[in-house]
Amino acid sequence: MSYFSDIYNGIKTLLTGMRVTGKYFLTSRKGAITQQYPDNRETLKMFDRFRGEVIMPHDEENQHRCTGCQKCEIACPNGTIEIIWDRGIDEETGKKKKKIDQFVYHLSMCTMCGLCIDVCPTDAIEWGQNFENSVYDRAALTRVLNEPGSKLMPGVED
């Protein structure tokens, strides 16, 4: 007798399973979880904290907040950040002072761990939300974050 009850119960479980998928089939129009990515570029907004790439914000007068302390370079586990620095003369005090020449960022080596941004004392670098980083030449992934001719924002070092 268990032979027939097995068949009955088996078919019942199969039908309940089909009910679940059938329900989703009927509501598939609004239930689709797919994002049609390149088409939804305008509406696609990443979260504020999303780690896409490291950027260095500049203000209107082309000034950044990086003092060239190299803490980020030390904190980075992969050697992603390379700071090429120089000693310049401070106009106000006339003393020799460290300033950055180039803040080199190798995006191709970055693991997005966030330690550099965490350790930065002057909030000079932060996360950018751009994630479309495909390029034809990997040299394009090595970026200089400070813009040409940019200066240190006054008052950052105090």
Partner 1 sequence: MTTALSITKNIHDWLFSTMPEGVASIVEMTLIALVYLGIFSVAGLFLVLMERRVAAWFQLRIGPNRVGFQGLLQTMADALKLLSKELTGTVKADKFLYNLAPYFVIISSLMALAVIPFTKDFHAFDINIGIFFLIAISSIGVIGILLGGWSSNNKFALIGAMRSGVQTISYELSIGLSLLTMVLITETLQLSEIVEVQKNGWLIVQGHIPAIIAFMIFMIAGTAETNRAPFDMAEAESELGAGFHTEYSGMKFAYFFLAEFINMFIIAAIAATVFFGGWLSPFGITESIPLLGVFWFLAKTLTLVFLMMWFRWTFPRLRVDQLLTLEWKYLLPINLVNIVIMAAVVWLNLTINF
Partner 2 sequence: METTTVNSNFKSEKYQINMGPQHPATHGVLNLLLTIDGEIIKKVEPDLGYIHRSIEKMCERDSYQQIVHLTDRMDYLSSNINNEAVCLTVEKALQLAIPERVKVIRTIIGELTRISSHCLWWGVMGMDVGALTTYFYGFRDREMINDIMEETCGARLTMNYNVPGGLMFDIHPNFVKRVKDFIAHFKTKLPEFDTLLTENIIFQKRTKGIGILTREDAISFGASGPVARASGYSCDVRKYHPYSALDRVTFKEALRTEGDTFARYSVRIQEMWESLSIVEQLIDNIPEGEHRVKTNAVIKLPKGEFYQKVETARGELGVYVISTGTKSPYRLKFRSPGFSNLSLLNHIAVGGKIGDLVATMATLDLVIPDIDR
32 touches which of partner 2, partner 1, none (CB within 5 to 8 A by kind)?
Answer: partner 1
Question: Among 55-63, 70-78, 90-98, 101-109, which window interacts with partner 2 (CB under 8 A)?
Answer: 70-78
Torsions phi, psi for 122 (to 5 deg) = -115, 10
22 touches which of partner 1, partner 2, none (CB within 5 to 8 A by kind)?
Answer: partner 1
E strands of 5-132, at which residues? 53-55, 63-64, 81-89, 96-106, 126-128
Q: Does 55 bind partner 2 (CB under 8 A)?
A: no
E strands of 40-80, at which residues? 53-55, 63-64
Structure tokens at 39: 């088409």
84 touches which of partner 1, partner 2, none (CB within 5 to 8 A by kind)?
Answer: none
CB atoms within 10 A of CB 40: 9
Q: What are the residues binding partner 1 (CB under 8 A)?
A: 7, 14, 17-18, 20-22, 24-25, 28, 31-34, 36
